[in-house]
Chain A
Amino acid sequence: MPASARALLSDLPKGHEFSSTTFTLTNDDVARYLDAVEDSNAVYAESGLAPPLCAAARALGALLELLELPAGTLHTGQDLDVRGGVAIGATLTLSGRVAQRSERAGVVIISLDFELTPAGSSDAVLSGRTTVVVAGGTP
């Protein structure tokens, strides 16, 4: 099912696939991220590879642009698999889907699966699952 603009996360059914989107993980993106998390390890600049969580945060930010999240939505779980590394400056295609959805006592639990694939490649370099709890489902 194609995504509509700014869909309400808690309304999306299991299996919903988001429209793929493309972004570039710039040197500035990574520098701002490292400043924010206060990680001064030189390995990122030396290897030319982004912190996995930086790429994941950028991916989640891109998904958030497609979604409306109720205030107070809580992040309850995070899985990540790196497969080769995310190059700083890479243009990446993000694909994502609702992998799981359950609802109980007015609380919706949703897991989103996502993958990042560099331009010109068919192999994802990072995949993840993000689980959030959204208050405001059907009581």
Chain B
Amino acid sequence: MSSVASITKQLSQEQVQRYADATGDHNPIHVDEDFARATPFGGTIAHGMLTLASVSEMMAAAFGEAWLTRGRLRVRFRAPARTNDTITASAQEQAQRDGMRVLAVEVRNQADEVLISGTAEAPAA
């Protein structure tokens, strides 16, 4: 049974801009520092899907092509990652069900705040 290693990375404003350009999501909460400063967040935040990409990266590293062909993800965004946050994606084995390994996944920031939580599933073999 493959292990699932956690992934840690820092999210820079430059990376958030690159993600916005790659996906076409230029919501000002992500890319306009003047706009974002006036919001309750007090500054720009990373796209939820960019933060979540660390979970998919972790699953692809552990399960390879099986994740790309039969992966499942159910997550809730609990809090945003702010630019320059260091985030860590991790997974905990929960169960095996219908031939799938079910893992509790989460992403936390450097203050140990949960940003994303949910489950990911990948084929057991």
A interface list, Cβ under 8 A from B: 29, 32-33, 35-39, 41, 43-44, 46-47, 49-53, 56-58, 60-61, 64-65, 69, 71-86
Contact = CB atoms under 8 A, between A and B. Distances in A.
B94 interface: no
A85 B69 contact: yes
Contacts, number: 123
Given A72-B39, A76-B77, A51 B56 contact: yes
19 contacts: A37-B53, A43-B60, A49-B69, A51-B56, A51-B57, A57-B22, A58-B23, A60-B23, A61-B24, A64-B25, A65-B24, A75-B48, A76-B77, A78-B73, A79-B74, A80-B71, A80-B73, A82-B72, A85-B65
Contact of A82 (B19, B54, B68, B80): B68
Interface residues of B, number: 39
Given A71-B35, A78-B48, A80-B72, A33 B56 contact: no
A47 B64 CA distance: 9
Nearest to A72: B29
Majority SS at the chain B contact face: helix
